[in-house]
Amino acid sequence: MTMTITSPASTTWNAWTAESRSYHMLTVVELEHFVRQFPVRRGHVAVDAGCGSGVFSRQLFRFGYDVTGLDYSAPALIAARRTPLPGVRYLRHDLNRGDPPGLPSHGIDRVACRLVLPCLRDPAASMRRVRDLWLSPGGQMYAVVPVVDEHAEQPGGTTEREIDALSSGWAQTVRYDLRGPLACLALRTTAT
Ligand SMILES: C[S@@+](CC[C@H](N)C(=O)[O-])C[C@H]1O[C@@H](n2cnc3c(N)ncnc32)[C@H](O)[C@@H]1O
C-alpha cells in the first residue's frame, strides 16, 4: 500500500531544528508505556530511526540500550551530538535511501521510529525492511505516528487504515494511543 504524504524536505527539518522546534514532547506516560512493552536487557542494541536532536536516543541509553541514532538532517545531528553519551552514536543517513552502512542484518534488538514514518516515501516498505532485515528474531519495533482523519488535508499524519496496514505482517502487534492523538505501535518479529 502506498501512502500519499506531503513530506517535509530535509532542508525544512534543518530549518525547524535551527528554530529548536519541538514536536510531540516525550512524556512520563509515554515512557511508562514504553517500559512495559519493551523489556530491556543491558547491552541490547537499538536504532533510533529519524532521531532528530536525540531526545529519545538518550532515553534509550538511560534504559540500558546501546544506541545508534540515524537522521538525514545535519543540524539535527549537530544538536544531538551536543550531549555526548558513551553508548550513543549518531549517523547521517537518509531512510529513503535503503539501509544504513554497516547495519548488522538481523542484529538489532529494538528499532524506534518516533514521529518519522509519515515523512518517509514508502513507510510500509521501510517497516517491512526493518522487520525482515534489521531486527533480530523476537526483536521489536516502536513506531509512533500522529493520527489524522481519513478526510483531513493535514500532511504528516497517518489514517486508521494506514495504521492497520503498517501493523500487519508482524508476529505480535500492540497498539495504544496517547494524547496528540498519537498511535503507538509495539511490533514484534517471530522469535525464530
Ligand atoms: C518530528 S522529528 C522526530 C524526531 C525524534 N524521532 C523525536 O521523537 O523527537 C522527525 C525527524 O525525522 C527526520 N527525517 C525525516 N525524514 C527522514 C529521512 N528520510 N531520513 C532520515 N531522517 C528523516 C527529520 O530530519 C527529523 O529529525
| 10-18 and 74-81 helices, crossing angle to 10° | 40
Count CB-CB contacts under 10 A for residue 179.
Answer: 9
Count CB-CB contacts under 10 A for residue 112.
Answer: 25
C-alpha distances out from residue 130 to 99, 142, 171, 180, Å: 9, 11, 13, 25
Ligand 1 pocket member 56 (CB < 6 A): yes
- Ligand 1 center from residue 158 Cα (angstroms): 15
Residue whose grid cell is 542484518: 105
Burial (CB < 10 A; 0-12, 13-18, 19+), residue 2, is exposed
Tens of pLDDT, residue by residue, the chain (192 residues) = 344 344 566 776 666 666 555 557 899 999 999 999 999 888 899 999 999 999 999 999 999 999 999 999 999 999 999 999 999 999 999 999 999 999 999 999 999 999 999 999 999 999 999 999 999 999 999 999 999 988 776 667 899 999 999 999 999 999 999 998 999 999 999 997
- All three cell numbers of 124, joined, read 510500509
Ligand 1 pocket member 95 (CB < 6 A): yes
- Ligand 1 center from residue 76 Cα (angstroms): 9
Domain 40-154+166-188: CATH superfamily, name plus number: Vaccinia Virus protein VP39 (3.40.50.150)
Burial (CB < 10 A; 0-12, 13-18, 19+), residue 126, is buried
- Ligand 1 center from residue 71 Cα (angstroms): 6
Task: Put residue 168 in one of left, alpha, beta given phi > 0 → left and psi -120 to 50 → alpha.
Answer: beta
- Ligand 1 center from residue 111 Cα (angstroms): 14
Residue ranges covered by each domain of the chain: 40-154+166-188
- All three cell numbers of 41, joined, read 536487557
Ligand 1 atom closest to Cα of residue 121 = 19
- All three cell numbers of 8, joined, read 517535509
Q: How far apart are CA 80 and CA 99, in angstroms?
A: 21
Residue 151 pLDDT: 77
Query: Helix or strand or coil: residue 95?
Result: helix
Residue 43 pLDDT: 84
Give Cα 121 distance to the centre of its chain: 15
Mutate to test the pocket of ligand 1, among 5, 13, 25, 120 (most ligand atoms within 8 A of CB): 13
Q: How far apart are CA 138 and CA 154, in angstroms?
A: 35
Residue 4 pLDDT: 38
DSSP label at residue 158:
B
Residue 121 pLDDT: 95
